[in-house]
Structure 1
Amino acid sequence: MPVTDVQHDLHALTLTITADFAAPVERVWEVYADPRQLERVWGPPGYPATFVDHALVPGGRMTYYMTSPEGEKYYAYWEVTEVHEPSRFDFKDGFALDDTFAPNTDMPESANTYRFERTTAGTRATFVGTYASAEDLQKVLDMGVVEGSSLAINQIDDLLAA
C-alpha cells in the first residue's frame, strides 16, 4: 500500500498524507495531469470521479463529481494556484453545491500542496491540506477524509503498473 503515514494537526490546521510509489516522479505527475487517469484514482473504490473541467495550470479550474454506488453525485472543484511540473502543485479544494460547481460555503475549503520527490525506490508524494479552522478540519475528519483519501491514493499503484 502506497500510503505510509497520515497525520492531522488541529493546532496547525493541517492534514498530511505521505505515500511512496515505485515509479518515477514524471509518471506519478501524469496521473494528476491527465484527467482520464485521475478519474481512475481520485474517488475511493465505489465512488468513481468524473472530471468535467481539468486545467492543471496556474489560475486553472478543475471541476468534478464523484458518484456513489446508489447513483448520488457529490460535486467539488479545485482552483489551481501554482504548478511546478513535475514536482509540485498547489490548489484550493472545495465542495460544490451542484453541477454548476458553485462553491458550497457551508462546507470547508482547504489550501493544498501536492509534492512529488524522487527517492531511490521511485517517488514520495506528500499531500498537505490546510484548513481555515480546527472546526473545518474536524468536520472533514468526521466525514471520513482520512479513510477515503487513503483508499483513493492506494489505487494509484495499480494504475502505475498498467
Structure 2
Amino acid sequence: MPVTDVTQDIDTRTLTITAEFAAPVERVWQVYADPRQLERVWGPPTHPATFVEHDLSPGSRCTYFMTGPDGQRYGGWWQITEVDAPHRLAFDDGFADGDLNPVDTAPVARSVFTFEAVDGGTRAVYTSTYDTAEALQQVLDMGVVEGATTAINQIDGLLAA
C-alpha cells in the first residue's frame, strides 16, 4: 500500500498523508494532470469521480462529482493557486452542490501536494489545512482519512497498468 503515514493535528488544523510510489515523479504527476487518469483514483473505489472541468493553471477551477453506490452524486471543486509541475500542486478544495457551485457552509481545505524523487520512485505528501479546528474535525468525522487513504492506495494499480 502506498500510504505510509497519516497525521492529524487539530492544533495546526492540518491533515497530512504521505505515500510512496514505485514510479518516477513525472509519471505520478500525470495522474493529476490528466483528468481521465485522475477520475480513476480521486475518491474511494466505491465513489468514482467524474471531472467536468480540469485545468491545472493558477487561477483556474476544477469541478467534479463522485457517484456513490446508490447513484447519489457528491460535488467538489478546486481553485488552483500554485503549480510547479511535476513537483507541487496547491489548491483550495471544497464541497459543491448538485450544479457544482461551491457550498459556502462547508469546510474548505488549503491543499498542497508535493512530489519528490526517492529511491527510484516518488514520495508524495498531501497536506490539507483548514481555517478552524472545527472544520478539520468535521471532515475527519465524515471519514476523510479512510476515503483519502483508499483513494491514494488505488494509484499503484493505475501506475502499474
TM-score scaled to structure 2, two decimals?
0.99
SS in structure 1 at match of 2:58: coil
**2:154 maps to which residue?**
155
**1:121 offset after TM fit, Å?**
3.5
Alignment partner of 1:48 is 2:52: no
Alignment partner of 1:62 is 2:65: no
1:108-127 Cα offsets, whole Å, 9 max, x none, are 00100000000014000000
Which aligned runs of 4 or more in structure 1 are off by greater than 3 angstroms?
none
TM-score scaled to structure 1, two decimals?
0.98
1:91-131 Cα offsets, whole Å, 9 max, x none, are 000001222x2211121001000000000140000000000
Whether the 8 Å CA contact 1:44–1:149 is kept in 2: the answer is: yes
**2:108 maps to which residue?**
109
AA aligned opposite 2:60: G
AA aligned opposite 2:106: M
SS in structure 2 at match of 1:151: helix
The count of corresponding residues between Structure 1 and Structure 2 is 161
SS in structure 1 at match of 2:40: helix
SS in structure 2 at match of 1:125: strand
Unaligned ranges ≥5, structure 2: none
**2:39 maps to which residue?**
39
AA aligned opposite 1:68: G
SS in structure 2 at match of 1:41: coil
**Pairing of 1:20-31 with structure 2 (within 5 A):** 20-31=20-31
Whether the 8 Å CA contact 1:21–1:121 is kept in 2: the answer is: no
**1:3 offset after TM fit, Å?**
0.2
Unaligned ranges ≥5, structure 1: none
Once residues 105 and 142 of structure 2 are traced to their aligned partners in structure 1, the CA distance between those partners, rounded to angstroms, is: 14
Alignment partner of 1:9 is 2:9: yes
**1:142 maps to which residue?**
141
AA aligned opposite 2:48: P
